[in-house]
């Protein structure tokens, strides 16, 4: 059953075989495998039991983003980068763009030596589990009928330039093309894990307790033995109870930010070794927008439904971007009467593409005294140059698809009539000039053979604490290079099966 705060008022104590912290793609996948195998499972989730969706970003941040959407990575360069991380039963799958990339084979091959030759996550071993997960969550290529003009423009432009491209695979089997994925699907068209993996786990006997923020990982006899959480009212955030779950094993699935934050806040980081919270990757990037002669209505159609790539820029993955009218209007950089005129004159004609890189830079995640995440990030010069080159390619694609002028969220760049002009204006810009955003935190509790450089072994059990497992994007040994939700579900499924 799925229980909200009202089921855990006062003092609640539960005992089970395995307690899972976090109800997103990783936690849901683990819960499904273990419960279907007859293992007793209690899944504890900080966010709400049921989706609480409105087409309003402030509402989404309040109910379905960790720390109210206010996680900011600080950089020595002066750049500030917001990082999105989901919360609620369904986690990040509730509010992501539903993009479903498999891990590139070359990335999985690179992991094998880092795992001291253990090839359990090799391409051949991952492939059948990818197939299984994709079937459960309904992955298919975005149909052209709901793609929307922005996605079609990008495919049209990339095709004209001879670049590899196409409509993206997404887990949206009954998508209506309303473009609201990032607020939470209002029509149930997105197969987020609250609609498949979680119900499968519950049907097999798992208990899901929402509205409960885990603050402590319990230990006994040198092993992880459970969790302690504060039960919070979802509207007021007032503490209404305390939850204790004792278990033979603990699986943390709070994501690339939430997992190391919890380990630090609970006082376990030192015990688990120096790699806890180190090596943060986030796929940083930037956007290029264009202005067309004809209406595009970027916010209509599949959210981020098209991709393209430049074979000469490995590790750079551009794809379509989407944004609500208010966000796009801000990007136009107009105020007053000019902004008012833009609502009807310019806004409908904006198109756009997002460029993200498989980053060489990295960061750290710790915990502040109030328990919130403390995040830093250092950009690699190579990444900054790849972002700029990717933006030039994106500009070429937009123009080839129909854009007549170009602009981007980079200070002082202005409006340009050609990709070459835009590229010239970017040359002397530093990362501090960029309007940054990242949504794929990973690799902060890395899997590996060396306890000095990793937190968990290939089994996902912590080097420094038997009985503690991690099964989310934080265990990736390197940057992934693609959107992580399918990889997270697939690896978590394999990790759970190794626990049986």
Q: What domains are defined for the chain?
A: 2-62+90-98+101-138+185-277+443-499 (3.50.50.60), 141-170+282-433 (3.30.410)
3-class SS shares of the chain: helix, strand, coil, % to 5: 35, 25, 40
**pLDDT over 70 at 335, yes or no:** no
Calpha distance 449→463 (Å, rounded) = 9
pLDDT in tens, 281-324: 999 999 999 999 999 999 999 999 999 999 999 999 999 998 77
pLDDT in tens, 45-56: 999 999 999 988
Among the listed residues 1, 194, 15, the one whose alpha carbon sits nearest the alpha carbon of residue 88: 194
Across the chain, mean pLDDT equals: 95
Calpha distance 420→438 (Å, rounded) = 26
Do 333 and 357 meet the contact criterion of CB atoms below 8 Å apart? no
Neighbour-count burial for 75-110, b at 16+ CB within 10 Å, e otherwise: beeebebebbbbbbbbbbbbbbbbbbbbbbeebbee
Q: Of 249 and 299, which is predicted with more confidence?
A: 249
Q: Of 75 and 441, which is predicted with more confidence?
A: 441
Residue 401, pLDDT score = 98
> Up-side HSE of residue 276: CA atoms within 13 Å toward CB?
25
Among the listed residues 275, 260, 483, 450, the one whose alpha carbon sits nearest the alpha carbon of residue 366: 260
Residue 344, pLDDT score = 76
Rounded mean pLDDT, 100-127: 98
Q: What is the percent of the chain where pLDDT is above 90? A: 90
Residue 332, pLDDT score = 73
pLDDT in tens, 438-451: 999 999 999 999 99
Calpha distance 224→252 (Å, rounded) = 11
pLDDT in tens, 135-183: 999 999 999 999 999 999 999 999 999 999 999 999 999 999 999 999 9
Q: From edge to edge, which strands make up the β-sheet containing 278-280?
A: 80-82, 72-74, 373-378, 362-367, 278-280
Residue 339, pLDDT score = 67
Do 28 and 197 meet the contact criterion of CB atoms below 8 Å apart? yes
DSSP line for 173-207: TT----S-GGG--SSS-S--GGGTHHHHHHHTT-E
Quote the DSSP letter at residue 373: E
Residue 166, pLDDT score = 98
Instruction: State the Cα angle at 315 between 310 and 319, rounded to 5°.
Output: 60
Predicted TM-score of the model (pTM): 0.96
Burial classification of residue 206, based on how many CB atoms lie within 10 Å of its CB (0-12 exposed, 13-18 middle, 19 or more buried): buried
**Could you give the dihedral angle defined by the CA atoms of residues 113, 114, 119 and 124, in that order, rounded to the nearest 10 degrees?**
-90
Residue 493, pLDDT score = 98
């Amino acid at each position: 059953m799925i229980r909200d705060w009202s089921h855990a008022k006062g003092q609640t104590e539960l005992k089970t075989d395995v307690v899972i912290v976090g109800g997103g793609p990783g936690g849901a996948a683990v819960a499904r495998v273990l419960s279907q195998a007859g293992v007793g499972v209690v899944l504890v989730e900080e966010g709400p039991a049921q989706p609480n969706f409105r087409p309003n970003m402030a509402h989404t941040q309040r109910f379905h983003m960790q720390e109210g959407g206010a996680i900011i990575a600080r950089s020595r360069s002066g750049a500030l980068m917001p990082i999105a991380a989901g919360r609620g039963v369904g986690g990040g799958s509730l509010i992501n763009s539903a993009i479903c990339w498999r891990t590139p084979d070359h990335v999985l091959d690179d992991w094998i030596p880092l795992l001291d030759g253990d090839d359990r996550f090799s391409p051949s071993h991952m492939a059948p589990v990818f197939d299984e997960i994709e079937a459960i969550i309904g992955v298919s290529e975005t149909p052209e009928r709901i793609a929307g003009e922005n996605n079609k423009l990008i495919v049209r432009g990339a095709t004209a330039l001879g670049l590899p491209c196409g409509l993206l695979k997404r887990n949206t089997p009954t998508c209506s093309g309303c473009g609201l994925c990032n607020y939470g699907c209002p029509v149930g068209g997105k197969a987020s894990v609250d609609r498949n993996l979680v119900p499968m786990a519950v049907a097999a006997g798992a208990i899901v307790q929402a509205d409960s923020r885990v603050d402590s990982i319990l230990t006994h006899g040198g092993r992880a033995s459970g969790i302690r959480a504060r039960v919070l009212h979802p509207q007021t955030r007032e503490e209404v109870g305390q939850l204790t779950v004792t278990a033979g094993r603990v699986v943390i699935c709070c994501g690339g930010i939430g997992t190391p934050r919890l380990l630090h806040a609970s006082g376990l980081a030192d015990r688990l070794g120096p790699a806890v919270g180190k090596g943060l990757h986030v796929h940083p990037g930037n956007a290029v927008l264009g202005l067309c002669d004809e209406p595009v209505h970027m916010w209509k159609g599949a959210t981020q439904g098209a991709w393209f790539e430049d074979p000469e820029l490995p590790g750079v993955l551009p794809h379509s971007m989407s944004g609500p009218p208010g966000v796009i209007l801000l990007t136009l950089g107009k105020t007053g009467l000019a902004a008012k005129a833009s609502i009807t004159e310019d806004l409908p004609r904006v198109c756009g593409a997002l460029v993200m890189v498989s980053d060489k830079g990295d960061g750290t995640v710790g915990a502040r005294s109030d328990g919130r995440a403390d995040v830093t990030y250092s950009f690699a010069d190579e990444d900054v140059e790849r972002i700029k080159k990717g933006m030039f390619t994106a500009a070429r694609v937009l123009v080839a698809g129909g854009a007549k002028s170009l602009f981007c969220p980079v200070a002082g760049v202005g409006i340009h009539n050609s990709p070459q002009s835009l590229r010239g204006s970017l040359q002397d810009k530093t990362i501090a000039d960029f309007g940054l955003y990242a949504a794929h935190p990973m690799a902060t509790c890395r899997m590996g053979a060396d306890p000095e450089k990793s937190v968990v072994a290939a089994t996902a059990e912590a080097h420094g604490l038997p009985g503690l497992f991690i099964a989310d994007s934080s265990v990736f040994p390197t940057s992934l290079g693609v959107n992580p939700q399918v990889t997270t579900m697939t690896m978590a499924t394999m990790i759970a099966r190794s626990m049986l």
